[in-house]
Chains A and B, each alone.
Chain A
């Protein structure tokens, strides 16, 4: 075997994504030339994906604390307090590169991976969400990618028996060659039953459980840390294959073992597999790990140490148990028909020592692979926001309601039913708000409490102004939770950007994070977990394309009593429809521009965080006092789109009254000003609501009255809901059928 090991040459080092300075550092750490296996280990651990070397400096600036936070970033997932010893464990993660290369398996294993991050901490996953960005519908691969990603997500989550209760899907040509698949999972645990990965103590057995190790996914983390080229499909072997059945067994076996008191530390094997999990456990525990690869359950024969250490085979976990508890643990895993192997021991060397076929093949200081991995403050250029454009500068449509029809049937605003009906969104019997509203809600089993979950980002805003766009993503997440009556608790961020070695891309990253941080701070909505996906760049015909900066925000909130939950549907004929928040007719970077004018121009709407805070608080009060009976966050598409969605959800029309004539009608109806909600209420409560709003110094406006089965406004031909619904529902199924 030894003679087959490649010689360490500068080319080989470069192929491993390690630059000259990094290699010099590596030599310094080891005091000798690395073995081939060691080079592989450094390669994955120092990859952007595992080391966060370009982003760490900036991530540390995000607000991560609050009385509700039990665990912030740095663990497998973040944890927030839900009261009564309940806590929510959650995280969102990207699986972009694999999903572009092999959409079904790429998306499926993305879902599998994020669920393992949750149950490895002792939580039972209770809800999944996903944020998807595809290329232009006109691009020849888009349909194939949508079909593959959606069935991959569905098949994995459905088999696991965890409901997928919402998400978002956009289409934009700038994702043509680099789609984004961001999967979020939320789990529930009891406060005193949380598990961490720190492998404290020496002389404890290291246990491998789950699927066997194969050759799949080798170097997945390195692939995710480099830009794409036209030959990227040749990287298909680096995409892992998912087995949701085994993961379901692994979930049940782990939770069964966790009910006892034998686990010291547990960590799933995700990116960079066995290597990364051992390093993290050893590093956090302040110990060394001695592993014997001959004990690793193997699916294929003649696997080398390099392959076993870098394999990203799915559905595997590493645990450190209390000595003497091995047999009882083995019994549980055997009952679930899963592999269980003692593969090593913790020690006091602070080294990661790997033996294979009786030889030591790697011996590396743990810290050099973890906290003291390289960190860069890459040069960046601060982005310049485009000039603000006035509503008058944007052309008016021939008719408002026909513009509405066009927008509601456009790829980015149309119904995504075709997608979420392929996801089991009701299994576990606790889904109390299904997909299609502002946030999905699952009841905390056996209680009246509800957990509200949303994912948000508006890439067109972030592209135009990463700072405002970053703020907006967080603000909208908070609004979506508020709209169902939840108190926003914390977020997870999934930061998808282009190549950080380009100063303007790094500039987007820095500015977006500044915006995110400010919004989190102002809204008491800290970041508790997240993931960074850089190098979302493709070279096509010699031209480099970077994705729009897309920091997807996953927000979690708590509803104390689901009887106080609210939804978007119009309820009763005669109810008043009101706007809470400002009306300035902001058309820059709006969907109106995108769909009706055919281009995106100007600055995106600014986000006033003080106003956001006030309007969120007011809406929650109105919902709790039952003064409003439907609430919808007013965002993409503007006021009229929001109203139309509420009308469709309740199957009730609206008669829109005369409006302020200071603004052009299309700016009034399609402007995307922030910090706004549309609500409905009983006519007799209008006065009370106006008074409370005035007290909070918040503008309110009367939109109209719930009435009939059409959208009716002065000077326009009435738009029957039947027609609007057909237009809204048809686009995606028709697109996918061709």
Chain B
């Protein structure tokens, strides 16, 4: 697997996701600076978590217009899989590769804790190692993770089966009580139409070893590796 991790100024989960990719594939990804015009030939692009450009404007808004994103969009349109985690999801939404926007959490506060997610699909290259409908525990750490889309967009997302993960409780029940940040339909992650672009607020790269609190983030990286091997 040849992966590229895009590094924006003040990305701060770039190393974490590189560690996870290397742990499953045995190969360190290429780290691509935001000012570079071209993403090298690769079979996966990752936009990591962090606070690109400080996120003083809407989260991800400036990064979406950085030089490297033109190349990311081109490659995505050409079918290269793209994974955006946390700030990476915000950038994907801002750049139009994924529907919806990420607003300030309903509670207005930054939230860092383990949450439960319901795996909605396992027929994609990101989730094949999970069981469909299963519940996994993965941490979140964000201020702006409140997924919003208008009625039509939301209907399209649901009709086209594009929800990747939903916030749920430990028993897998999806309800308002398990909706940590006010996201519409408890959406924690969405796919594009092809299922090759995934944006998610939770951090699978933080759950890759028992000493870190669990390994339920590993199957996501294994799924990618299996498909791209």
B-contacting residues of A (Cβ < 8 Å)?
Answer: 151, 154-155, 158-161, 243-246, 248-249, 336-337, 420-432, 434, 443, 562
Contact = CB atoms under 8 A, between A and B. Distances in A.
Given A432-B211, A432-B212, A245 B112 contact: no
Given A423-B112, A429-B20, 8 more contacts: A245-B56, A246-B54, A422-B109, A426-B141, A426-B213, A427-B16, A429-B212, A434-B213
25 contacts: A151-B110, A154-B110, A158-B141, A158-B143, A159-B10, A160-B12, A161-B13, A245-B54, A245-B55, A246-B54, A248-B12, A249-B9, A421-B113, A424-B110, A424-B112, A424-B141, A426-B141, A426-B213, A427-B16, A427-B49, A429-B15, A429-B20, A432-B212, A434-B213, A562-B211
A495 B19 CA distance: 39
Contact of A422 (B15, B19, B20, B110): B110
Contacts of A425: 112
Interface string B128-141: 00000000000101
A155 B10 CA distance: 13
Given A425-B112, A432-B212, A161 B56 contact: no
Interface string B97-130: 0000000000001111100000000000000000
B12 A422 contact: no
Lowest 9 CB-CB distances: which A-B pairs, in order? Answer: A161-B12, A245-B54, A429-B16, A159-B51, A424-B141, A248-B10, A422-B110, A424-B112, A432-B211
Contact of B51 (A244, A420, A434, A562): A244
Contact of A245 (B10, B111, B203): B10
Interface string B180-215: 000000000000000000000001011010011100
Interface string B38-74: 0000000000011101111000000000000000000
A216 B109 CA distance: 27
A426 B211 contact: no
B16 A155 contact: no
Interface residues of B, number: 30
A107 to B, nearest CB: 14
Contacts of A428: 15-16
A368 B109 CA distance: 48
Given A161-B12, A243-B54, A427-B13, A421 B211 contact: no
Contacts of A424: 110, 112, 141
Given A159-B51, A245-B54, A427 B109 contact: no
Contact of A244 (B49, B54, B112, B206): B54
Contacts of B112: 158, 420-426
Contact of B12 (A421, A423, A427): A427
Contacts of A420: 112
B212 A431 contact: yes
Contacts of A248: 9-10, 12, 51
A154 B112 CA distance: 10
Interface string B158-193: 000000000000000000000000000000000000
B54 A159 contact: yes
Contacts of B19: 429
Contacts of B12: 159-161, 248, 427
Contacts of A160: 12
Nearest to A417: B113
A427 B9 contact: no
Contacts of B213: 426, 434
Given A245-B10, A245-B56, A426 B139 contact: yes
A516 to B, nearest CB: 33
Nearest to B12: A161
A130 to B, nearest CB: 15
Contact of A421 (B55, B111, B208): B111
A336 B9 contact: yes
Contacts of A422: 109-112
A160 B141 CA distance: 13
Contacts of A430: 212
Contacts of B51: 158-159, 161, 244-245, 248
A33 B140 CA distance: 60
A434 B54 CA distance: 26
Contacts of A429: 15-16, 19-20, 205-206, 208, 212
Nearest to A736: B109
A562 B209 CA distance: 13
A243 B139 CA distance: 26
A77 B111 CA distance: 31
Contacts of A151: 109-110
B46 to A, nearest CB: 14
A450 to B, nearest CB: 9
Candidate in B53, B55, B110, B203 with the most chain A CB atoms within 10 angstroms: B110
Contacts of B10: 159, 161, 244-245, 248-249
Given A245-B51, A426-B112, A443 B16 contact: no
Contacts of A243: 54
Given A421-B111, A422-B109, A422-B111, A245 B15 contact: no
Contacts of B16: 427-429
Given A424-B112, A426-B206, A443-B211, A245 B9 contact: yes
A626 B203 CA distance: 32
A337 B113 CA distance: 33
Nearest to A446: B19
Contacts of B203: 426
Contacts of B53: 245
A529 to B, nearest CB: 26
A158 to B, nearest CB: 6
A451 to B, nearest CB: 14
Contacts of B111: 421-422
B22 to A, nearest CB: 11
A160 B19 CA distance: 19
A738 to B, nearest CB: 15
B169 to A, nearest CB: 16
Nearest to B20: A429
Contacts of B15: 428-429
A427 B13 CA distance: 7
Contacts of A426: 112, 139, 141, 203, 206, 212-213
A120 to B, nearest CB: 19
A427 B56 CA distance: 20
Contacts of A154: 110
Contacts of A158: 51, 110, 112, 141, 143
Nearest to A562: B211
Candidate in A159, A160, A243 with the most chain B CB atoms within 10 angstroms: A159
A443 B143 CA distance: 26
Contacts of A336: 9
Contacts of B56: 245
A636 B56 CA distance: 41
Contacts of A423: 110, 112
A443 B213 CA distance: 13
Contacts of B109: 151, 421-422
Contacts of A161: 10, 12-13, 50-51
Nearest to B108: A151
A165 to B, nearest CB: 11
A344 B84 CA distance: 45
A331 to B, nearest CB: 13
A245 B52 CA distance: 8
